[in-house]
Copies of this chain bind each other. A is one copy, B any other.
Amino acid sequence: MVKNPAPDATRRSEKSRRAIYAAALALVGEIGYPRTTVEGIAARAGVGKQTIYRWWPAKADVLLEAFLDLGEQAARAAGQETPALPDTGDLAADLKAVLRATVDEFLDPRFDAPARALAAEGLVNEELGRRYVARLLEPQLQRYVDRLRAAREAGAVRPDVDPRIALELFVSPLAQRWLQHTGPISHDYTDTLVDYALYGLAPR
């Protein structure tokens, strides 16, 4: 069971690649992920099916790369790399600000549809899930790790706290409410999460 001879990437059609990304994102947005088909993407992109199968192993991979590309384009347009979290010295305020922005993103259908589709696929397809986490999720989480580490050094967080776990106290609840519709998401809600997480549930 050998792979086909690897195609020659240098001769790849850039135009087709971009058309495929655009078609994939458009279709997922319009008709939803499950009804989006490779054939549909190919037709919409004006591309042969083989051109998709040559470069991606599966529908989910097309969408993952399309979505990553979208992010990179946005980043390039904004002119910077993966931005660090702000550090004004006020940890609570900084976290609240970033989470409010995340809430806004989650409420934007252009982000919601493909991100949700990829997350769903990732639950059940472990290989894709790992790539989703590594390429999309972890880079974001790392920013919290950095900010929390800085806060720990500044004495705003207890020295024995593991930042990678700590961040989940406010990030995971928001993620779960978003993905599973277990509750409404709002700026108030994330503010509350940050307060609870920083100061604890027990009386001080």
Measuring CB to CB, which residues of chain A are less than 8 angstroms from any residue of chain B? Answer: 32-34, 91, 116-117, 119-126, 129-130, 132-133, 137-138, 141, 148, 155-158, 161-162, 164-166, 168-170, 172-173, 175-177, 179-183, 189, 192-193, 196-204
Question: Are the CB atoms of A169 and B181 closer together than 8 Å?
Answer: no
| Contact residues in B for A196 (Cβ distance below 8 Å) | 161, 165-166, 169, 197, 200
Partner of A165, one of B126, B158, B189: B189
Question: Are the CB atoms of A201 and B198 closer together than 8 Å?
Answer: yes
CA distance A137 to B201 in the complex (A): 22
Partner of A120, one of B120, B162, B198: B120
Question: Are the CB atoms of B203 and A155 closer together than 8 Å?
Answer: yes
Question: Are the CB atoms of A181 and B129 closer together than 8 Å?
Answer: yes
